[in-house]
Amino acid sequence: MTGYQPRPIDPAALAELRATDDAGRPCAPYRETGTGAPLRCCLRGSEPGELIALVSYAPLRRWAAATGVSPGAYDEQGPVFIHAEACAGPDPERAGYPFSRPGALRTVRRYDAHGRIVGGRLLEIPAEEAKGFDAALDEAFADPEVALAHVRAVEFGCFHFEVRRP
């Protein structure tokens, strides 16, 4: 990577989401029976038997509250998978970008320091996944107005991870 750090959901936010999500619903944990649910707490796929939950998360709202701005009309919430109990977070030895596979479609949505969308880009993840993400993020942060970028799945609109200006 070119110095970009995919950020998981903040531990303090996770603690809140494990009680009540950003839509005001209580967390409803369940045992994973399949594999691969994209866990936003540790930026990896789930494994059978893990206790996980699908919660509503408002990433821009939470970033805006922490920085003292209003997300305005860009405030949105959507579903994300998390461990239902505290986890160790991302593996520091993991290389590359999470939830990345060649051919998958992602949006790289750019926000300014006031929480407004200032652009975006469709990314079809290439065979050299890291190079594709690096190029999209280089393009995003070449604009001095961009404070952060959200990476989302096109198919479901799910938030995958955030990258802040290096």
Q: With cut-offs at 50, 70 and 90, classify the pLDDT of residue 1.
A: very low
pLDDT at 35: 81
Torsion sign across C-alpha atoms 13, 14, 19, 24: positive
Q: What percent of the chain has pLDDT over 90?
A: 89
Among residues 109, 13, 26, the alpha carbon closest in space to that of 62 is found at 13
pLDDT at 15: 98
Which residue type is seen at 74? Y
Q: Which residue has the higher pLDDT, 1 or 36?
A: 36
The runs of H, that is alpha helices, within 3-85 are: 11-17, 59-67
Total-model pTM: 0.92
pLDDT at 34: 87
Helix or strand holding residue 119 (H, E): strand 117-124
At which residue do the structure tokens 């750019």 appear?
110
Angle at 62 between CA 88 and CA 98, to 5 degrees: 45
Which token pair is 81? 């998978």
pLDDT at 144: 97
Burial of 16 (0-12, 13-18, 19+ CB in 10 A): middle
pLDDT in tens, 66-113: 999 999 999 999 999 999 999 999 999 888 899 999 999 999 999 999
pLDDT at 153: 93
Helix or strand holding residue 135 (H, E): helix 129-141
Distances (CA, A) of 83 to 17, 69, 91, 156: 10, 29, 14, 20
Mean pLDDT of 107-133: 96
Is residue 10 pLDDT above 80, yes or no?
yes
* Structure letter (DSSP) for residue 74: G
- CA–CA dist 83, 41 (Å, integer): 7
pLDDT in tens, 64-75: 999 999 999 999
Q: With cut-offs at 50, 70 and 90, classify the pLDDT of residue 2.
A: low
